[in-house]
Amino acid sequence: MSQEDDTLTEAREQISDEHFVEVRYDEAIPNNVDLSSDRQLLRALQAWHPNYLEWWKDMGPDGFQDADVYLRTAVGVDPAGWAKFGYVKMPEYRWGILLAPKVEGRAIPCGKHKGEPAWQEVPGEYRSLLKRLIVVQGDTEPASVEQQRYLGKTAPSLYDLRNLFQVNVEEGRHLWAMVYLLVKHFGKDGREEAQALLERRSGQQDNPRILGAFNERTPDWLSFFMFTYFTDRDGKMQLAALAESGFDPLSRSCRFMLTEEAHHLFVGETGVGRTIEATCAAMKQAGITDPYDVQRIRALGVVDLPLLQRKANFHMSVTRDLFGSEISSNAADAFNTGLKGRFNEAQLKDDHQLQDARYTVTRVVDGRLVDEAVPALRAINCRLLDDYIADCQGGIDRWNKAIEKAGIDFRITQPHKGFNRRIGEFAGQRISPAGELLTEAQWAERQGQWLPGDDDLAFIGSLMKPCLQPGRYASWIAPPRMGINQQPLEFEYVRID
């Protein structure tokens, strides 16, 4: 039995002894929500916690559960000192409930209640919409852990293995953050939703995760880095929009989650960047300048750049689907009620109510792509997607700079918004990365240039050999610039016995 199980059992046995509970339970669950004095919340979390640990054992990282991992644990929300680094066994990670500090006098930032005091309790008339927003966000957190469950076995270095586990435990903590809101504010059905979050399974036929991209497989490390760059960035956008919520506890939860999300995006950007670096270095050394000389490049044990582009195309397109239909009455409701804002709501220079505003949405009309101004309220999802696409570009520019510096004539680009979409305005259309509408036959003929094929995935799979000696890195990925928390590159980030 792990240390945390012990603590929990003791806490449960001592439930009648208030003082003991206060000390011990606060120890097991770092929190700034005054957990020890909220008996009802404490009971609900005590009932949920063992099921969470069961889920983690069943669906969290396969293997390595007894390994000491050099992890960062959030222990407070003070910007200077919220994180502690040290060796932890993952099942004993101190998942906590941490809200960003309360902003005194905070007002609802958008929608028809704009300017009214932010809600500290669930607004009754919007209860089910609010609960749905929390459940959908909450569902993505354990889903990504499930998707990444087998990656440990093929890690390209201990440094990367540690980063994977850091991302995994933080996604676990994000689940805690949403479960806290459900059990604290939604009574019995909140508790039921909290349990259901542990029961859905990524990719499972009968009881899948709610959103499509979270049912895709993450079979290899290149997929993991693409996922953390592109799909965790959807997480960032959604959290940023929920951080603008008029429901203050949700806003405060999401504001703190965003600080953790930044690390996931870093793992993605540098993971893809280091892959590019290894490719460019190997090409240079072999005297190859043509990025399309694929056979010779692959023989060097690195990923050719056109394949990286196809992988990026896949991950970008499935992630764009996560934003939902570009034109959506649900999204209009979420904004209009003040439950969810836009990205950077506070910085936007408009009336934050959008009753008369319009927004341009690209649609397919009579076999042509047209830009149409629609009521901005109904185009909230489209706007968040556009903001997302803009947000993706920074890292891509940095990747391209590295390729350019190596003297290789190749650029990673973002495909047209309508490429390979299943949800929204472009669902059912065949659109090339350059934005041409295609017939089914044209698509069938050319899609292999744009999306990874079986041989691509088999090649990536062939590179996935574990490289777990301290300081060693697999051929296909360059070492990082810096270690974690100023530790050296050869630091034993995970102790595997």
Residues found near Fe ion in the complex (CB under 5 A): 141, 171, 174, 232, 235, 261, 264
* Smaller CB separation from Fe ion, 233 or 311: 233
The nearer residue to Fe ion, 118 or 169, going by C-beta atoms, is 169
Pick the closer one to Fe ion by CB: 227 or 419. 227
Q: How far is the CB of 265 from Fe ion (least distance, A)?
A: 8
If the CB atoms of residues 141 and 345 are measured against Fe ion, the closer one turns out to be 141
Q: Could you tell me the smallest distance in angstroms from the CB atom of residue 169 to Fe ion? A: 11
User: Which is closer to Fe ion, CB of 163 or CB of 275?
Assistant: 163
CB of 92 to Fe ion, least distance (A): 20
Q: How far is the CB of 176 from Fe ion (least distance, A)?
A: 11
> Which one, 234 or 277, has the nearer CB to Fe ion?
234
Closest contact distance (angstroms) between CB of 331 and Fe ion is: 20
Closest distance of CB 264 from Fe ion, Å: 4
HEC readout, the chain: CCHHHHHHHHHHHCCCCHHHHHHHHHHHCCECCCHHHCHHHHHHHHHHHHHHHHHHHHHCCCCCCCCEEEEEEECCCCCCCCEEEEEEEHHHCCCCECCCCCCCCCECCCCCCCCCECECCCCHHHHHHHHHHHHHHHHHHHHHHHHCCCHHHHCCCHHHHHHHHHHHHHHHHHHHHHHHHHHHHCHHHHHHHHHHCCCCECCCCCCECCCHHHHCCCCCHHHHHHHHHHHHHHHHHHHHHHCCCCEHHHHHHHHHHHHHHHHHHHHHHHHHHHHHHHHHHHHHHHCCCCCCCHHHHHHCCCCCHHHHHHHHHHHHHHHHHCCCCCCCHHHHHHHHCCCCCCCCHHHCCCCCCCCCCEEEEEEEECCEEEEEEEEHHHHHHHHHHHHHHHHHHHHHHHHHHHHHHCCCCCCCCCCCCCCCCCCCCCCCCCECCCCCECCHHHHHHHHHHHCCCHHHHHHHHHHCCCCCCCCCCCCCCCCCCCCHHHCCCCCCCEECC
- Compare residues 283 and 392 and give the one whose CB is closer to Fe ion: 392
By beta-carbon proximity to Fe ion, the closer residue of 166 and 353 is 166
Q: How far is the CB of 275 from Fe ion (least distance, A)?
A: 20
Minimum separation from the CB atom of position 228 to Fe ion (A): 7
Smaller CB separation from Fe ion, 167 or 460: 167
β-strand 358-365 against 68-74: which pairing, if any? unpaired
Nearer to Fe ion, 242 or 408 (CB): 242
Provide, rounded to whole angstroms, the least separation between the CB of residue 233 and Fe ion.
9
Q: How far is the CB of 24 from Fe ion (least distance, A)?
A: 28
CB of 374 to Fe ion, least distance (A): 31
Q: What's the Cα-to-Cα distance from 217 to each of 57, 145, 148, 212, 319, rounded to whole Å?
A: 19, 11, 8, 11, 13
Decide if 134 contacts 454 (C-beta within 8 A).
no
Check the CA dihedral 370-410-307-477 and report its sign. negative
Closer to Fe ion at the Cβ: 228 or 353? 228
